[in-house]
Amino acid sequence: MPPLAPPLAPLIEIAPPAFDVHLSLAYAMADNFTGKPVYRRADCYLHENAAEKLSHAIELAAKLDLKIRIFDAFRPSEAQWILWNHTPDPDFLAPPERGSPHSRGVAVDLTLVDSAGKDLDMGTGFDAFTPRSHHGVKDIGPTAIYNRCLLLGLMTSAGWDFYAKEWWHYQLFDSRQYPLISDKELDIPML
Protein backbone atom coordinates (compact mmCIF):
# COMPACT_ATOMS: atom_id res chain seq x y z
CA MET A 1 0.00 0.00 0.00
CA PRO A 2 1.50 3.40 -0.99
CA PRO A 3 2.20 5.83 1.85
CA LEU A 4 -0.46 8.41 2.50
CA ALA A 5 0.34 11.95 1.46
CA PRO A 6 1.13 14.23 4.37
CA PRO A 7 -1.65 16.62 5.33
CA LEU A 8 -1.76 19.89 3.46
CA ALA A 9 0.76 22.01 5.32
CA PRO A 10 0.37 25.75 5.27
CA LEU A 11 2.25 27.47 2.53
CA ILE A 12 4.86 29.93 3.74
CA GLU A 13 5.04 33.32 2.06
CA ILE A 14 8.50 33.91 0.61
CA ALA A 15 9.17 37.65 0.78
CA PRO A 16 11.57 40.10 2.39
CA PRO A 17 12.42 40.70 5.16
CA ALA A 18 11.83 37.11 6.36
CA PHE A 19 13.53 35.81 3.19
CA ASP A 20 16.31 37.98 1.79
CA VAL A 21 15.47 37.41 -1.89
CA HIS A 22 14.61 39.38 -5.01
CA LEU A 23 11.18 38.55 -6.40
CA SER A 24 10.51 38.72 -10.14
CA LEU A 25 7.50 36.46 -10.43
CA ALA A 26 7.29 35.86 -14.17
CA TYR A 27 3.75 34.50 -14.27
CA ALA A 28 2.37 37.53 -12.44
CA MET A 29 3.62 39.71 -15.34
CA ALA A 30 3.08 39.71 -19.09
CA ASP A 31 6.83 39.15 -19.63
CA ASN A 32 6.63 35.34 -19.74
CA PHE A 33 6.29 32.78 -22.50
CA THR A 34 2.47 33.05 -22.55
CA GLY A 35 2.66 36.81 -23.18
CA LYS A 36 0.17 37.63 -20.41
CA PRO A 37 -0.10 37.38 -16.62
CA VAL A 38 -1.20 33.98 -15.32
CA TYR A 39 -1.44 35.00 -11.64
CA ARG A 40 -3.57 37.91 -10.46
CA ARG A 41 -1.38 38.28 -7.36
CA ALA A 42 2.41 38.55 -7.35
CA ASP A 43 2.84 36.55 -4.16
CA CYS A 44 5.39 33.82 -3.65
CA TYR A 45 4.79 30.71 -1.52
CA LEU A 46 6.49 27.41 -0.73
CA HIS A 47 5.63 24.42 1.41
CA GLU A 48 7.24 24.78 4.84
CA ASN A 49 9.80 22.03 4.05
CA ALA A 50 10.86 23.81 0.85
CA ALA A 51 10.93 27.19 2.62
CA GLU A 52 13.38 25.76 5.15
CA LYS A 53 15.71 24.55 2.39
CA LEU A 54 15.40 27.87 0.58
CA SER A 55 16.52 29.65 3.77
CA HIS A 56 19.61 27.45 3.80
CA ALA A 57 20.36 28.29 0.14
CA ILE A 58 19.93 32.01 0.88
CA GLU A 59 22.47 31.74 3.72
CA LEU A 60 24.97 29.92 1.50
CA ALA A 61 24.59 32.51 -1.29
CA ALA A 62 25.04 35.38 1.20
CA LYS A 63 28.45 33.98 2.21
CA LEU A 64 29.47 34.64 -1.42
CA ASP A 65 27.89 38.12 -1.44
CA LEU A 66 25.12 36.84 -3.71
CA LYS A 67 21.34 36.76 -3.46
CA ILE A 68 18.61 34.66 -5.02
CA ARG A 69 16.06 35.99 -7.50
CA ILE A 70 12.86 33.92 -7.65
CA PHE A 71 10.93 33.63 -10.93
CA ASP A 72 8.33 31.14 -9.70
CA ALA A 73 7.59 28.95 -6.70
CA PHE A 74 4.18 27.54 -5.74
CA ARG A 75 1.97 27.34 -8.82
CA PRO A 76 -1.69 26.34 -8.38
CA SER A 77 -2.74 23.26 -10.36
CA GLU A 78 -4.99 25.42 -12.53
CA ALA A 79 -2.00 27.58 -13.51
CA GLN A 80 -0.13 24.46 -14.62
CA TRP A 81 -2.99 23.74 -17.02
CA ILE A 82 -2.82 27.31 -18.39
CA LEU A 83 0.92 26.96 -19.08
CA TRP A 84 0.50 23.47 -20.56
CA ASN A 85 -2.38 24.51 -22.81
CA HIS A 86 -0.19 27.31 -24.17
CA THR A 87 2.98 25.22 -24.66
CA PRO A 88 2.49 21.45 -24.17
CA ASP A 89 6.20 20.59 -24.04
CA PRO A 90 6.97 17.78 -21.55
CA ASP A 91 10.69 18.62 -21.66
CA PHE A 92 9.99 21.96 -19.96
CA LEU A 93 6.54 21.64 -18.36
CA ALA A 94 5.20 18.79 -16.26
CA PRO A 95 2.01 17.40 -17.80
CA PRO A 96 -0.75 18.69 -15.49
CA GLU A 97 -2.44 15.32 -15.15
CA ARG A 98 0.78 14.04 -13.55
CA GLY A 99 1.20 17.17 -11.49
CA SER A 100 4.12 19.56 -11.17
CA PRO A 101 6.32 19.92 -8.10
CA HIS A 102 5.42 23.62 -8.37
CA SER A 103 1.76 22.71 -7.83
CA ARG A 104 2.79 20.91 -4.66
CA GLY A 105 4.65 23.95 -3.32
CA VAL A 106 7.99 22.15 -3.38
CA ALA A 107 9.74 23.64 -6.45
CA VAL A 108 11.33 26.98 -7.14
CA ASP A 109 12.64 28.62 -10.32
CA LEU A 110 15.50 30.99 -9.57
CA THR A 111 18.82 32.54 -10.42
CA LEU A 112 21.65 34.28 -8.60
CA VAL A 113 22.17 38.04 -8.46
CA ASP A 114 25.24 40.03 -7.48
CA SER A 115 25.46 42.67 -4.75
CA ALA A 116 24.11 45.30 -7.19
CA GLY A 117 21.04 43.15 -7.91
CA LYS A 118 22.18 42.17 -11.42
CA ASP A 119 21.44 38.64 -12.61
CA LEU A 120 24.52 36.49 -13.11
CA ASP A 121 25.03 35.27 -16.68
CA MET A 122 23.50 31.80 -16.98
CA GLY A 123 23.82 31.48 -20.76
CA THR A 124 20.06 31.66 -21.40
CA GLY A 125 17.19 33.45 -19.82
CA PHE A 126 14.59 31.89 -17.56
CA ASP A 127 12.09 29.70 -19.43
CA ALA A 128 14.26 29.47 -22.54
CA PHE A 129 12.76 26.25 -23.90
CA THR A 130 15.91 25.14 -25.68
CA PRO A 131 18.63 22.51 -25.19
CA ARG A 132 20.97 25.38 -24.19
CA SER A 133 18.97 25.53 -20.92
CA HIS A 134 20.10 22.03 -19.94
CA HIS A 135 22.68 21.49 -17.22
CA GLY A 136 26.04 20.43 -18.62
CA VAL A 137 25.87 22.17 -22.00
CA LYS A 138 29.20 23.48 -23.22
CA ASP A 139 28.22 26.16 -25.75
CA ILE A 140 27.17 28.89 -23.32
CA GLY A 141 30.58 30.32 -22.43
CA PRO A 142 32.85 29.79 -19.43
CA THR A 143 31.22 32.46 -17.21
CA ALA A 144 27.74 31.00 -17.69
CA ILE A 145 29.04 27.47 -17.08
CA TYR A 146 30.72 28.64 -13.87
CA ASN A 147 27.58 30.46 -12.69
CA ARG A 148 25.35 27.48 -13.38
CA CYS A 149 27.74 25.23 -11.46
CA LEU A 150 27.75 27.73 -8.61
CA LEU A 151 23.93 27.79 -8.49
CA LEU A 152 23.80 23.99 -8.70
CA GLY A 153 26.32 23.67 -5.87
CA LEU A 154 24.49 26.11 -3.61
CA MET A 155 21.10 24.51 -4.18
CA THR A 156 22.21 20.89 -3.85
CA SER A 157 24.22 21.77 -0.73
CA ALA A 158 21.00 23.19 0.72
CA GLY A 159 19.21 19.88 0.05
CA TRP A 160 17.49 20.52 -3.29
CA ASP A 161 17.20 18.19 -6.28
CA PHE A 162 17.58 19.64 -9.78
CA TYR A 163 15.95 19.08 -13.16
CA ALA A 164 18.55 18.32 -15.84
CA LYS A 165 16.78 20.27 -18.61
CA GLU A 166 16.31 23.58 -16.75
CA TRP A 167 19.22 25.32 -15.03
CA TRP A 168 16.72 27.45 -13.03
CA HIS A 169 14.48 24.67 -11.63
CA TYR A 170 15.02 23.03 -8.23
CA GLN A 171 12.65 20.83 -6.25
CA LEU A 172 12.53 18.73 -3.13
CA PHE A 173 13.48 15.09 -3.44
CA ASP A 174 10.44 12.76 -3.55
CA SER A 175 8.24 15.70 -4.51
CA ARG A 176 5.31 13.44 -5.40
CA GLN A 177 4.78 12.64 -1.74
CA TYR A 178 3.33 16.14 -1.37
CA PRO A 179 -0.29 16.71 -2.44
CA LEU A 180 -1.25 18.90 -5.37
CA ILE A 181 -2.76 22.21 -4.28
CA SER A 182 -5.57 23.90 -6.15
CA ASP A 183 -6.16 27.62 -6.31
CA LYS A 184 -9.55 26.93 -4.69
CA GLU A 185 -7.79 25.64 -1.55
CA LEU A 186 -5.99 28.94 -0.93
CA ASP A 187 -7.37 31.47 1.55
CA ILE A 188 -6.85 34.14 -1.13
CA PRO A 189 -6.78 32.70 -4.68
CA MET A 190 -3.84 33.54 -6.93
CA LEU A 191 -5.74 33.21 -10.23
Instruction: Say yes or no to pLDDT of 52 above 60.
Output: yes
Fold observed for domain 11-185: Muramoyl-pentapeptide Carboxypeptidase; domain 2 (3.30.1380)
Tell me what percent of the residues of the chain surpass a pLDDT of 70: 95
Q: What pLDDT, on a 0 to 100 scale, did the predictor assign at position 50?
A: 98
Q: Nearest 10 degrees: CA dihedral of 29, 31, 34, 35?
A: 100
Per residue in 77-99, pLDDT (tens digit) is: 999 999 999 999 999 999 999 99
Q: Which residues are catalytic?
A: 166
pLDDT reading at 6 higher than 80: no
Q: In the predicted model, is pLDDT for residue 53 greater than 70?
A: yes
pLDDT in tens, 122-167: 999 999 999 999 999 999 999 999 999 999 999 999 999 999 999 9
3-state SS of 54-77? HHHHHHHHHCCCCEEEEEECCCCH
Whole-number pLDDT of residue 108? 98
pTM strictly above 0.75? yes
CA distance 170 to 189: 24
- pLDDT at 171 exceeding the cut of 70: yes
